[in-house]
Amino acid sequence: MTIGISDLAFATAHQVLDLQQLADVQGIDVGKFYIGIGQSQMSVPTADEDIVTMGAEAAAQILARHGSDGIRTLLFATESGIDQSKSAGVFVHGLLGMGEHCRVVELKQACYSATAALQFALGIVARDASEKVLVIASDVARYALDSSGEPTQGAAAVAFLVTADPALIEIEPVTGLHTDDIHDFWRPNYLSTALVDGKYSLAAYLGALEGAWNEYQSRGGFAFAEMARFCYHQPFTKMAVKAHDRLCKIVGADLDKDQRLAQISASLELNRRTGNSYTASIYVGLLSLLEHDDADLAGERIGFFSYGSGSVSEFFTGVVRPGYRELLRTARDAAVLDNRRPVDYPRYRALHESVDAVQGADFETAAETTGPYRFAGVVDHVRRYEKLG
The DSSP line for 200-268 is: HHHHHHHHHHHHHHHHHHHTTPPPGGG-SEEEE--SSHHHHHHHHHHHHHHHT----HHHHHHTTGGGG
| 353-375: burial string, b at 16+ Cβ within 10 Å, e else | eeeeeeeeeeeebeebbebebbb
pLDDT category at 357 given cuts 50, 70, 90 is: low
Tell me if 86 is assigned to a ligand binding site: no
Each domain of the chain, given as residue ranges in start order, spans: 3-169+328-387, 174-320
pLDDT category at 359 given cuts 50, 70, 90 is: confident
Indicate if the pLDDT at residue 320 is higher than 90: yes
Q: What pTM, to 2 d.p., does this model score? A: 0.97
pLDDT category at 369 given cuts 50, 70, 90 is: very high
CATH class of 3-169+328-387: alpha beta
Q: What are the pLDDT digits (tens) for 206-216? A: 999 999 999 99
Asked, colleague to colleague, whether 3-169+328-387 and 174-320 share their fold, the answer is: yes
Indicate if the pLDDT at residue 377 is higher than 90: yes
Q: Which residues are catalytic?
A: 79, 111, 233
Tell me if 143 is assigned to a ligand binding site: yes
Indicate if the pLDDT at residue 307 is higher than 90: yes
The predicted pLDDT at position 198 comes to 81
Q: What distance in Å separates the CA atoms of residue 210 and residue 207, rounded to the nearest whole number?
A: 5
Tell me if 307 is assigned to a ligand binding site: no
What percent of the chain stands above pLDDT 90?
94
CATH class of 174-320: alpha beta
Mean pLDDT over 352-364 rounds to 83
Tell me if 200 is assigned to a ligand binding site: no
pLDDT category at 162 given cuts 50, 70, 90 is: very high
Indicate if the pLDDT at residue 108 is higher than 70: yes
